[in-house]
Every structure is written in structure tokens, then in C-alpha cells.
Amino acid sequence: MYDWLFKDENYTPIKDKDKFINKSIFSFAKMLNDIRSMNKYKEISFIYSINPIVKTLVTLIIIIQLALSRNVVFIFAVLIVAIAICLFVNKKDIFKIYIISGILPLFTVIMLLPSILMGNLNNSLIIVLKVAGTIISVNILSYTTKWHQLTKVLKLIFVPDIFIFVMDIAIKYIFVLGEFSLEMLYSLKLRSVGKNNNKRAFIIKLMGNLFLKSKEAGDEMYSAMECRGFVGEYSVYKNYSFKNQDALYIMLYAFITIINFIHL
């Protein structure tokens, strides 16, 4: 028998920092959870049960009016109503909406800072309020409408099928590739022993595997769609009903639109 067989192995791996992997795992897990929750919310208030077509068309009209209007009263009215509607959104989503609606206008203020310093304060304030009102309105639509409902609405308002197809497949593949990336990160974390001074090489390999996986999934999807006779056309089978809350929602924003034309 060899002497080394009788020796104790006291190997203690050198500790290494794994904050990058942990942060990446947390980010991917949060993103996947957000995508899953897009189609799992409950109708906790009237804003969730409003006809998706009504919500989408009203939001588009309000955004166009915000872009064209210079009426400060109208802009403030849209902003106040949007903030009030946010109070009926799920508590978890209210905070996200307010954070996003506060950060992006802040960037707008920074971009308009030279104009503000030169004395063009009124126009700069109008632009910031327009950005805030637009972002809140879009977020309300996004957080209170399921994704498959939005694709149906886009088809009903005659958006080209290729545009709907690209958005629909993009969301689905972000989820699929996100899950694959999360599994690879878990695998990397479990197999990491000791100190690794070449972490960039692992990230490059991860990106390469992700690219190969996306190409393989794309080929499989193309074959599956070809076998099922998909010709690039979307069909809508569900007919939406018009309810009292839909009429109330339209009347509310119709009143705001009247304000826009009265105070010219």
C-alpha cells in the first residue's frame, strides 16, 4: 500500500467572492417572477375589469393629446387622474409605478437643465409633466392588463400581424432564455470551489451557451409552426362585453379631453 493512501486530506478551499453570481441570480429570478405575474393577478378593483380595448384606446388617445397639447390645466388634470387611478392598483405595483414615474422625469429634468438655466422654465416644466403623465398612463395599462389581452387588442385595432408576432415571441423567449440562464447560474454557483481568477471566461461561455440555446429553440419553434400550418396571421375568438365601468372610464377621460379644448 502506498503511504499517501493513509494520509488525511485537509483541503480547505480559498474563499472567493460570489456577489456577482448572487446578484445575477436575484435579477433573473425577479425578472421571471415579474413575467409570471403578468397573467396571474386578481381583479381587486374596477381598473382591472375594464375592457382592454377601452383601456388601450383611451391610453393611446391621452398620450397623443399630451404630446400635442400645451394646455397646462389639461396636463395637470391627466396627471391627477392617473395618480388617483394608481390608488386602485395592486399595492405591490403602486410602488413600482411611482418609482418609474419619478425616475424618468428626473432624467428629463437633467436633460433640460441647460434650457432651465437659460430661463425657459415654463416650457421645460410642461415637458416634464407630459413625460410623467405619459409614463403613469402607460404603466397603469401595463400593470392592469394581461399580456394576452394586449395582443388581442392590438389585433382588433388593426396592428400588423408581424408586429404582434415579434412582440409576443420576444416576451416568451425572454422568459424561456431567462430560465435557462438562471439554471446555468445555479449550476455555476454549485460547481464553484475555491477562488476563481478568471470569472470573465465563465461569463463568456454562459453567453455562448445562451446563444446556442436561442438558435436551437428558434429552429424548433420554426419547425413546430411550420408543422401546424402557421402563416403569420393572428385570430381573435373572444368578444369583449361593454360594462358600466367601461362607460365611467370613458366619461372620465372624455371630461378631461373637453378641458383640453375649452382652455386653449
Give how far Cα 118 sits from Cα of 78, 113, 114, 131, 153, Å.
Answer: 28, 9, 6, 21, 44
The pair phi, psi for residue 117, each rounded to 5°, is -65, -25
Q: What is the pLDDT of residue 14?
A: 64
Q: Is the predicted pLDDT of residue 257 greater than 80, yes or no?
A: yes
Cell digits for 12? 480547505
Q: Is the pLDDT of residue 75 over 60?
A: yes
Distance (Å, rounded) from C-alpha 114 to C-alpha 128? 14
Give the confidence band of 193 by pLDDT, cuts at 50, 70, 90.
low
Question: What nine digits make up the cell of 82?
Answer: 392617473
Contact between 249 and 55 (Cβ < 8 Å): yes
Residue position matching grid coordinates 449550476: 187
In this model, does residue 263 exceed pLDDT 60? no
pLDDT at residue 82 tops 70: yes
For residue 42, is pLDDT > 60? no
**Residue in 19, 35, 30, 22 with CA at minimum distance from that of residue 170:** 35
pLDDT value at 234 more than 80: no
Segment 137-150, tens digit of pLDDT: 888 888 888 777 77
User: What confidence score (pLDDT) does residue 195 get?
Assistant: 65
Grid coordinates belonging to 122? 415654463
User: Where in the chain are the domains?
Assistant: 44-145+241-264, 147-191+199-233
When pLDDT is cut at 50, 70 and 90, the band that residue 45 belongs to is low
Of 7-16, 29-38, 99-108, 235-244, minimum mean pLDDT range? 7-16
Confidence band (pLDDT; 50, 70, 90) for 236?
A: low
Of 134, 149, 146, 167, nearest to 61 (Cα)? 134
User: Is the predicted pLDDT of residue 39 greater than 60, yes or no?
Assistant: no
97, pLDDT greater than 80:
yes
* Of 6-20, 180-194, 222-236, the least confident: 6-20
Closest to 213 measured CA to CA, from 237, 233, 245, 183: 183
pLDDT digits (tens, 9 = 90+) for 46-70: 788 888 888 888 889 999 988 888 8
Q: Are 59 and 145 in contact (CB under 8 A)?
A: no
Q: Which residues contact 151 (CB under 8 A, 6 or more apart)?
A: 164, 167, 168, 234
For residue 111, pLDDT over 80 is answered with: yes
Closest by CA position to 73, among listed 87, 65, 110, 118: 65
pLDDT of residue 41 exceeding 60, the answer is: no
List of residues 6+ apart from 185 with CB closer than 8 A: 21, 24, 25, 28, 206
**Mean pLDDT across the stretch 208-236?**
78
Residue 200 has pLDDT above 70, yes or no: no
Span 114-142, pLDDT tens digits:
888 887 888 888 888 888 889 888 888 88
pLDDT category of residue 165 using cuts at 50, 70 and 90: confident
The pLDDT score that the predictor gives to residue 197 is: 64
Alpha helices in 192-243 (DSSP H): 199-227
* pLDDT score, position 4: 67
